[in-house]
A and B are shown apart, each in its own frame.
Chain A
Amino acid sequence: DGGITQSPKYLFRKEGQNVTLSCEQNLNHDAMYWYRQDPGQGLRLIYYSQIVNDFQKGDIAEGYSVSREKKESFPLTVTSAQKNPTAFYLCASSMGTGEKLFFGSGTQLSVL
């Protein structure tokens, strides 16, 4: 079945540590996105990518980094510079940027 796989489902970060959230899709979609969701809040765009080896900052990119070396993969690294990383992170993809988004099941990141 085609879809988007996010892993892990739960992740814990120690102070000063970088952690990487995985996002893989087999939908052959060009565009991929990372959103952050805080409790009771909407989704805020962190980074998005239209094609391989290209990505753009979203509204809250500080403290995060991404790469897009393969069409299928768009990992998100939460760096130690992100002082408040506890949130639910959602990865999404679409055929083109701005088309209907297909979402993964999310990763809950917490700080120890």
Chain B
Amino acid sequence: AQKITQTQPGMFVQEKEAVTLDCTYDTSDPSYGLFWYKQPSSGEMIFLIYQGSYDQQNATEGRYSLNFQKARKSANLVISASQLGDSAMYFCAMRERYSGGYQKVTFGTGTKLQVIP
């Protein structure tokens, strides 16, 4: 079973509009973390935002916010006021613990966002 599911392979958004990128996850670890990363065409991975499973408030970082719905196991990324520079691949990722105290980070398959002028 997929640990992280991103169901939107590609999305278009008009410049200055808001867009929501979907992410659902599956874990039995009660203490997990969720991340969003941006990957421009250059290939670098840029950290955007983090949400811990026990955080009461939705995380926000500038124009990025994470719509965290714990019961639905959903962690959607909302980008407000889209800019042309937001065109990139966006990956949702999850940190979870395994036996032996190890933790690892698993990524989804990504959503390609294209911002239209």
Q: Give the B-binding residues of A (Cβ under 8 A).
A: 33, 35, 40-45, 48, 50, 56, 58-59, 88, 90, 92, 96-103, 105-106
B105 near A41 with CB under 8 A, answer no
Could you list 22 A-B pairs, sorted by A, with CB under 8 Å? A33-B104, A35-B107, A41-B109, A42-B110, A44-B107, A45-B104, A45-B105, A45-B106, A58-B104, A97-B103, A98-B103, A100-B35, A100-B47, A100-B50, A101-B37, A101-B45, A101-B47, A101-B105, A102-B47, A105-B42, A105-B43, A105-B44
Q: Which size class do B's interface residues fall under?
A: 20 to 34
User: What's the least CB distance linking A34 to chain B, in Å?
Assistant: 12
Q: Give the A-binding residues of B (Cβ under 8 A).
A: 4, 6, 33, 35, 37, 42-45, 47, 50, 91, 93, 95-97, 102-110
B44 near A43 with CB under 8 A, answer no
